[in-house]
Amino acid sequence: MISELIRCFYLRNKQTNTKGFFDTITRSFRVGFRHIDLNLHINNAKYLMFLEKARWDHSIQTNTFNPLLKHKLNFIVAGVEVGYIREIRLFKKFDVETTYVGWDEKYFYLEQKCVADGKLCNYSLVKAVFTQRGKVVSPNKVMEIIPIEQRPQQLPEHMQIWKDLGTAKRNFSTSEPIDKVA
């Protein structure tokens, strides 16, 4: 990811067609030999790398990289839900579409889609925070630092369901062990 950071430093002042923070941002990729498994399609773990590179590109295309850098805000992924729908084969060109769809008191929520030939191949939900000097910064504070024009009113229903599922998982994993019946 160091190469992605260098790319961002290079491109940060060259962006001429800036998009809004909540717009869908697209970055194109091509599947190479280092991305595939024995089935000659993208290995499931490599999707996460493409998704991260697309999230880095979001800050460039929305012109938010410089304010994030100036205020030492770090983007930290707190959760990802990935759905693999169709394979993307070796040498295939595809796009990753990244959209911030909302926030709550702590997290930003994103959708990321991998699309090849106009068909959805991968669908991911991402939950993330911004930190500053090791402490979580509220989304409202982040939106003051990087001026954001449009603001969604509430999380889409599917994101709220995913959020509730995460809460249920945490509650389940921290509860007392259930005695097994012999």
- pLDDT on residue 152: 67
Do the beta carbons of residue 152 and residue 102 sit within 8 Å?
Answer: yes
What pLDDT score does 181 carry?
47
* H or E element, residue 122: strand 119-132
Instruction: Please identify which residue in the block is written with the tokens 């990935």.
Output: 82
pLDDT tens-place string over residues 127-159: 999 999 999 999 989 988 887 776 666 889 999
Give the pLDDT score at 36: 96
Structure confidence at residue 11 (pLDDT):
67
pLDDT for the residue numbered 154:
82
Contact 61, 121 (CB under 8 A): no
- Please give the CATH topology (third level) of the domain spanning 2-173: Thiol Ester Dehydrase; Chain A (3.10.129)
Q: Tens digits of per-residue pLDDT, 11-57? A: 666 666 678 889 999 999 999 999 999 999 999 999 999 999 999 99
